[in-house]
Chains A and B, each alone.
Chain A
Amino acid sequence: MTQSVVVQVGQCGNQIGCRFWDLVLREHAAVNKKGIYDEALSSFFRNVDTRNGGDGADIHKGKIFSLKARALLIDMEEGVVNEILQGPLRDVFDSKQLITDVSGSGNNWAVGHKLYGYQYREHIVEKLRSTAEHCDCLQCFFVIHSMGGGTGSGLGTFVLNVLEDEFPEVYRFVTSVYPSGEDDVITSPYNSVLAMKELNEHADCVLPIENESLFSIVSKIHQMTNSGKLGSTVKQNSLLTSSAGSIKTEQEKPFDAMNNIVANLLLNLTSSARFEGSLNMDLNEISMNLVPFPRLHYLVSSLTPLYTLADVNVPSRRLDQMFSDAFSKDHQLIQADPKHSLYLACALLVRGNVQVSDLRRNIERLKPSLHFVSWNQEGWKTGLCSVPPVGHSHSLLALANNTCVKPTFTELKDRFMKLYKKKAHLHHYLHVDGMEQSCFSEAISSLSDLIEEYNQLDATKSAPRTYPSRLKIAM
Chain B
Amino acid sequence: MSIVTVQLGQCGNQIGYEVFNAICNDFHSTHGLCSKKENESYQEACKERFFSEEKTGVPVARAVLVDMEPKVISQTLSMAARSGHWKYDHQSHFCQKQGSGNNWANGYSVHGPRYRDVIMNLVQKEAEKCDRLSGFFTVMSMAGGTGSGMGAFVTQCLRDVFPTSFILNQVIWPYGTGEVIVQNYNSVLTLSHLYQSSDALLVHENDAIHKICAQLMNIKKISFRDVNQVIAHQLGSVFQPTYSSEGASQYSRSPLGDLMESLVPHPEFKMLGLRNIPQMSENSLAYSTFTWPGLIKHLRQMLIANAKMEEGINWQVRPPLPGHPVPPKASPNKALHFNTSIANLVVLRGKDVQSVDVGGFRDPALYTSWLNPQEAFNVWKTPRAFNKYEKSASLVSNSQFLLKLMDNIVGKAWNMFASKAYVHQYTKFGIEEEDFLDCFTTLEQVIASYASL
Contacts and interface: CB of A to CB of B under 8 A. Distances in A.
Contacts of B223: 278, 355-357
A363 interface: yes
Interface string B164-185: 0000000000011111111000
B410 interface: yes
A139 interface: yes
B310 interface: no
Contacts of A39: 70-71
B444 interface: yes
Interface in A343-360: 344-345, 355-358, 360
B441 A473 contact: yes
A192 B213 CA distance: 52
Nearest to B421: A292
B342 to A, nearest CB: 17
A246 to B, nearest CB: 26
Contacts of A2: 69, 97-98
B18 to A, nearest CB: 12
B243 to A, nearest CB: 38
Contacts of B327: none
Contact of A289 (B69, B180, B412, B444): B180
Nearest to A285: B102
Interface stretch (A9-17, A175-183, A444-452, A463-471): A463-471
Interface string B77-105: 00000000000000000000111111100
A311 interface: no
A292 B410 CA distance: 19
Given A137-B98, A278-B225, A467-B415, A289 B424 contact: no
A289 B166 CA distance: 35
A428 interface: no
Given A367-B177, A473-B445, A282 B182 contact: no
A379 B181 contact: yes
A414 interface: no
Interface in A372-412: 374-382, 384
A31 interface: no
Which of B10, B71, B220 has most chain A Cβ within 10 Å? B71
A288 B178 contact: no
B412 A378 contact: yes
A201 interface: no
A441 interface: no
B161 interface: no
B415 A375 contact: yes
Nearest to B447: A473
Given A280-B69, A473-B445, A288 B103 contact: yes
B178 A378 contact: yes
B422 A292 contact: yes
Contact of A357 (B71, B102, B221): B221
A282 B444 CA distance: 33
A290 interface: yes
B269 to A, nearest CB: 14
A133 interface: no
A290 B101 CA distance: 12
Interface string B413-430: 011101111101100000
Nearest to A467: B415
B416 A139 contact: no
A316 to B, nearest CB: 8
Interface residues of A, number: 48
Contact of A468 (B71, B418, B452): B418
A376 B421 contact: yes
B181 A276 contact: no
A276 B75 contact: yes
Nearest to B445: A473
A39 B74 CA distance: 11
A355 B221 CA distance: 6
Pick from A39, A374, A375 the residue with the most CB of B within 10 Å.
A375
Contacts of B214: 357
A379 B214 CA distance: 24
Interface residues of B, number: 53
Contact of A136 (B97, B177, B178, B424): B97
Nearest to B227: A356
B222 interface: yes
A378 B100 CA distance: 22
A467 B408 CA distance: 13
A357 B217 CA distance: 14
Nearest to B449: A475
Contacts of B180: 285, 289, 381
A237 interface: no
Given A364-B177, A376-B421, A378-B412, A471 B224 contact: no
Nearest to B228: A278
Interface in B199-258: 210, 213-214, 219-225, 227
Contacts of A280: 10, 69, 71-72, 99
A341 interface: no
Interface in A15-63: 39
A211 interface: no
A381 B101 contact: no
Interface string A270-284: 000000101110101
Interface in A120-168: 136-137, 139
A1 interface: yes
Contacts of B103: 284, 288
B440 interface: yes
Contact of B224 (A278, A470, A473): A278
Nearest to A283: B101
B275 to A, nearest CB: 22
Contact of B444 (A288, A291, A344, A473): A473
Counting chain A CB atoms within 10 Å of each CB, which of B98, B444, B445 scores highest? B98
A294 interface: yes
Contacts of A284: 98-103
A285 B100 CA distance: 8
B418 A278 contact: no
Interface in B289-347: none
Contact of B416 (A294, A357, A376, A381): A376
A396 B130 CA distance: 47
Nearest to A344: B421
A-B residue pairs, 10 tightest by C-beta: A284-B101, A380-B178, A357-B222, A468-B418, A292-B421, A137-B97, A375-B419, A355-B223, A289-B181, A278-B224
30 contacts: A2-B69, A39-B70, A276-B72, A276-B75, A278-B14, A278-B225, A280-B72, A284-B99, A289-B181, A294-B424, A345-B181, A355-B221, A356-B224, A357-B219, A357-B221, A375-B415, A375-B416, A376-B181, A378-B176, A378-B178, A379-B181, A380-B179, A381-B181, A468-B418, A470-B411, A470-B414, A471-B440, A473-B444, A475-B448, A475-B452
Interface of B: 10, 14, 69-72, 75, 97-103, 145, 175-182, 210, 213-214, 219-225, 227, 410-412, 414-416, 418-422, 424-425, 440-441, 444-445, 448, 452
Given A137-B97, A293-B421, 14 more contacts: A1-B97, A2-B97, A278-B225, A282-B101, A285-B99, A289-B182, A291-B422, A291-B425, A292-B422, A356-B223, A357-B219, A382-B179, A470-B411, A472-B444
